[in-house]
Amino acid sequence: MKRIAASALAVALLAAGCTNEGGGGSGGTGGDVPGVTDTSIVVGTHMPLTGPAAAGYSKIAPATKAYFDYVNANGGVHGRKIEYKVKDDAYNPANTQTVVRELVLQDKVFAILNGLGTPTHTGVLDFLKTNRVPDLFVASGSRSWNQADKYPGTFGFNPDYTVEGKILATHVKETYAGKKTCFLGQDDDFGRDSLLGVKKILGTVAAEEKYVTSSPNVGPQIGAFKAAGCEVVILATIPPFTALSIGTAAKIAYKPQFVVSNVGADPTTVAKTLGDAAPLMEGLVAANYLPLNTDESNPWIQLFQKVNKEHNAGAEFDNNVVYGMSVGYLFVQALQSAGKDLTRDKIVEVVQKNGFQGPGLVPLRFSAQDHSGYGGEQLTKIEKGKAVYFGTPYTTDDGDGPVTPYTNQPVTPPQSGVPAA
């Protein structure tokens, strides 16, 4: 019986193997580049489409895909259409392992693009390196992506959390000088790196607290801030916990100035969680590095709204959509620079060469030594339910470098909406 079982197992696995084999096209021009043919490029990603982290984030990959569809409809890149395979890992690192292997080994993707999450993506770095798969524009601000020696094919996208912490703290130092400042962060690289950046500027904070996503209660932490008399609270929180913190503070009649990481500040997502209490967000300070979804006069936003309408079934246009399309735009820029003879080495080479002018307000930091993403942010404030930029963008590094204003004029997208070669 055991034998029957084992052979049945073999048959099942083989059958499954046969049905799905051959999906990934190889062959193509000259060299045998996985995922690239004369007419197509297959790239893949892992995203939390379900599970606790899905809120908001599940909209990123469809937006990226919509932008690719837009590019494809306009002739593609060097005659190739981009096919984007999105796999759900539910923010579970074990699933990430499986889906990324499926993408690389079975679907034969050319590259992994914008894989989301620090714990999830950390686990596949070695696998992607071993298989020499370009690992572009990871969707997280962890500094782990910036290890050019160890992981030459991995590049970040988001400004890292330390850079952000320094910029937020600089604002606090200048605007709320002398006020008691406290810090609530997620208990992982996000919170820790952010606090590191904050302390680089402020030296110390009056109280620091942390939370874990598995325990949806920040009452004690917010209570401690109130007891400590904190007047400014810096949050390195994901959107649900931003909402929870604001709501909890209101519940105990505590009204500090909140200064929030970009990660947890998308007004649409936070307002949805706050529901009727959304007006509590008024005056909240945060930061961003991409055009804001509500800034309808911005040419990037006009482009993305058009793409959203035509190729994303008019999904609710929030900052996650802007983010996803910006990632798509950057990837198309990289493909254009890499030229007609696309190889995996070539794409890594052009990303390191950098020089991309994109929707971002500040330059990307990519170079042969530096694989971290955007190098700065600009502060936003929520006015009448909408985030608006104020001041100038700042750039800095994750070390002890100064926080400096960035004064170059932002670029506008090309008329066609597709970056030129």
| Binding to other proteins in span 214-273, by CB under 8 A | 214-221, 223-224, 227, 240, 243-244, 247, 250-254, 272-273
Shortest reach from residue 344's CB to other proteins, in Å: 17
Q: What separation in angstroms does the CA of 222 have from each of 62, 90, 118, 205, 251?
A: 36, 29, 26, 15, 10
Could you say which of 26, 29, 40, 127 contacts other proteins (CB under 8 A)?
127
CB contact burial 288-323 (16+ within 10 A = b; e otherwise): bbbbbbbeeebbbbbbbbebbeebbeebebbbbbbb
CA atoms of 156 and 193, how far apart (whole Å):
15
Distance of alpha carbon 378 from alpha carbon 416, whole angstroms = 27
Among 130, 407, 409, 415, binds other proteins (CB under 8 A): 130
User: Exposure string (b/e) for 358-371, b if CB count within 10 Å is 16 or more?
Assistant: bbbbbbbbbeeebb
211 touches other proteins (CB under 8 A): yes
Of 40 and 106, which CB lies nearer to other proteins in the complex structure?
Answer: 106
Distance CA 357, CA 34 (A): 28
**Strands 232-236 vs 207-211: parallel, antiparallel or unpaired:** unpaired
Write the single-letter amino acid at 407: T
Task: Quote the distance between the C-alpha of residue 190 and its chain's center.
Answer: 12
Rounded to a whole number of angstroms, the CA Rg of the chain reads: 22
Distance CA 417, CA 73 (A): 11
Q: How far is the CB of 7 from other proteins (least distance, A)?
A: 7
Q: Which of 113, 66, 147 is nearest to 331 (CA)?
A: 113
Task: Name residues contacting other proteins, limited to 334-363 (CB under 8 A).
Answer: none
Element spanning 46, H or E: strand 40-47
Taking a C-beta distance cutoff of 8 angstroms, is the pair 47, 86 a contact? yes
Q: Which is nearer to other proteins, 86 or 169 (CB)?
A: 86
Measured from the CB atom, is 252 or 421 closer to other proteins? 252
> Given the rule CB under 8 A, which of 27-35, 70-78, 123-131, 170-178 is the region that contacts other proteins?
123-131
276 vs 400, beta carbon nearer other proteins? 276
Q: Which of residues 16-35 bind other proteins (CB under 8 A)?
A: 16-17, 20-21
Query: Min. distance of Cβ 21 from other proteins in angstroms?
Result: 7
**Nearest to other proteins of 223, 410 (CB atom):** 223
In this structure, what are the phi and psi dihedrals at residue 76, rounded to the nearest 5 degrees? 75, -165
Selected binder of other proteins within 39, 74, 98, 369 (CB under 8 A)? 98
Q: Which span sits near other proteins by CB under 8 A: 211-219, 306-314, 362-370, 382-390?
A: 211-219
Q: Looking at beta carbons only, is 12 or 388 nearer to other proteins?
A: 12
Rounded to the nearest whole angstrom, what is the least distance from the CB of residue 274 to other proteins in the complex?
A: 7
Nearer to other proteins, 31 or 219 (CB): 219
Q: Is 116 an interacting residue with respect to other proteins (CB under 8 A)?
A: no
Residue 294 Cβ, how far from other proteins at the closest point, in Å?
A: 21
In this chain, which of 67, 68, 91, 323 binds other proteins, going by CB under 8 A?
91
Residue from 33, 36, 43, 49 binding other proteins (CB under 8 A): 49
Question: Binding segment for other proteins among 31-39, 91-99, 315-323, 359-367 (CB under 8 A)?
Answer: 91-99
* 322, containing H or E segment: helix 319-338
- What's the distance, Cα to Cα, between the start and end of the chain in Å? 62
Q: Which of 72, 92, 305, 312 binds other proteins (CB under 8 A)?
A: 92
Say if residues 70 and 310 touch (Cβ distance below 8 Å).
yes
- Work out how close the CB of 247 gets to other proteins at its nearest, in angstroms, rounded to a whole number: 7
Query: By CB under 8 A, how many residues form the interface with other proteins?
Result: 79
Shortest reach from residue 243's CB to other proteins, in Å: 8
Q: Which is nearer to other proteins, 5 or 420 (CB)?
A: 5
Task: Return the number of the residue (274 or 387) whose C-beta is nearest other proteins.
Answer: 274
Q: In whole angstroms, how close is the CB of 67 to other proteins at the nearest point?
A: 18
* Whether the Cβ atoms of residue 143 and residue 368 lie closer than 8 Å to each other: no
105 forms part of the interface with other proteins (CB under 8 A): yes
Structure tokens of 195? Answer: 């606090």
Residue 384 as a binder of other proteins (CB under 8 A): the answer is no
User: Which residue in 406, 379, 383, 384 sits closest to 172, CA to CA?
Assistant: 379
